[in-house]
Amino acid sequence: MSTPPVVAAVDGSDDSLRALDWALGAARRRSAPLRVVYARQYAPWSQPDVLVTGPPEPPDDSVLDQARDHLRGRDEGLTVEYSAPVGAPAVVLPELSSTAQLLVLGSRGRGGFASLLLGSNSLAAARDAVCPVVVVPRPGRDGGTSHAFGAVGEHGEAPDGPGPRVVVGLYVDVPDEAALAFAFAEAALLRARLQVIAAYPWPVTGLAAPGELVPPALDQSAIERETWTLADGLLAPHLKAQPDVHSEVCALPGDAAGHLVAASRDAELVVVGRHRRRLLAPARMMGSVTQAVLLHAVSPIAVVPPVPAED
């Protein structure tokens, strides 16, 4: 059985070339083919103002030629193929994900407003793809500031330790096994340690009377210990499957998105689950934490769909 490819989406932008670099490394780590895709919104001969007097002209390959030039001399030993399917990228890229093991693209393309933090095609791919999607952000993100997430204190700092680091978010009440498995596998491929962020709500308030909130009689240290213990137990089967991966659990109070974004500083990758379909919301969707990480994380972000894949 052939190895599914790593798919890199390009559009001629600097963002897509950064994504192509990341995809090249991912394909090497996986010993997988690299498929470079330029999704064309329209075929040149389908535009209404073009008079076709003969057979269709071959499509303009300048974007793919740019990708070939970018990879020249760095793709030895890899099988690299190039394709230019016609269709809206937000539709074409999720369709291609059904035969890929990974889809990689930049956070912004050539279209839209330059001030946007995340492009519509990146958002659609992360929401709808069957395989994990890696979004490579533009340089210059600050890793979450107090304006975006509230004050990020010592808990938000990257832990001390040498070598590369992969970060994954874990909600201990409803663990995402697909995201954990992907994070462990990627940490093994990158020879990186794995930092597991398990956030718990704090402060917690209780309702004493209509309109009156009072602090509950809860011990924060006990909640932190319970969160750490639950997280440690959830990691056990993944540690057994990936015994060479060193993992560390950080049980942190408050905003999960803020902690993940802060931890993305100097990380190789941040891994988040997408979102499970709900009974009253059958369409594919992403949780608020995943969206915040996509918008603000400094490192590349992997969005992992649940298993089995949503159909």
Same domain for 286 and 209: yes
Cα 107 to Cα 113: distance, rounded to the nearest angstrom: 12
Least reliable range by pLDDT among 116-125, 225-234, 255-264, 281-290: 281-290
Q: Would you call the peptide bond into 203 cis, given omega within 30 degrees of 0 as the criterion?
A: yes
* Whole-number average pLDDT of the chain: 83
Q: Which two tokens stand for residue 211?
A: 């309109």
pTM: 0.83
Quick: pLDDT tens for 49-60: 444 444 443 445
User: Looking at residues 206-220, what average pLDDT do you find?
Assistant: 65
Same domain for 242 and 123: no
Exposed/middle/buried for residue 160 (C-beta within 10 Å: 0-12, 13-18, 19+): exposed
Q: Would you call the peptide bond into 164 cis, given omega within 30 degrees of 0 as the criterion?
A: no
Residue 79, domain member (yes or no): yes
Q: How many other C-beta atoms lie within 10 A of the C-beta of residue 9?
A: 26
Last residue of a domain, one of 109, 136, 163: 136
Same domain for 89 and 11: yes
User: Looking at residues 72-76, what average pLDDT do you find?
Assistant: 93
For 42, list phi and psi in degrees, rounded to 5: -140, 145
Q: Do 168 and 179 meet the contact criterion of CB atoms below 8 Å apart?
A: yes
Quick: pLDDT tens for 170-203: 999 999 999 999 999 999 999 999 999 999 988 7
Q: Which pLDDT does position 183 carry in this prediction?
A: 98
Specify the residue for token string 């192509």: 20
Q: Which whole-number Å values give the CA distances from 122 to 68, 128, 186, in the listed order?
A: 22, 10, 21
Same domain for 160 and 256: yes
Cα 138 to Cα 104: distance, rounded to the nearest angstrom: 14
Domain of 87 in residue numbering reads as: 6-43+58-136
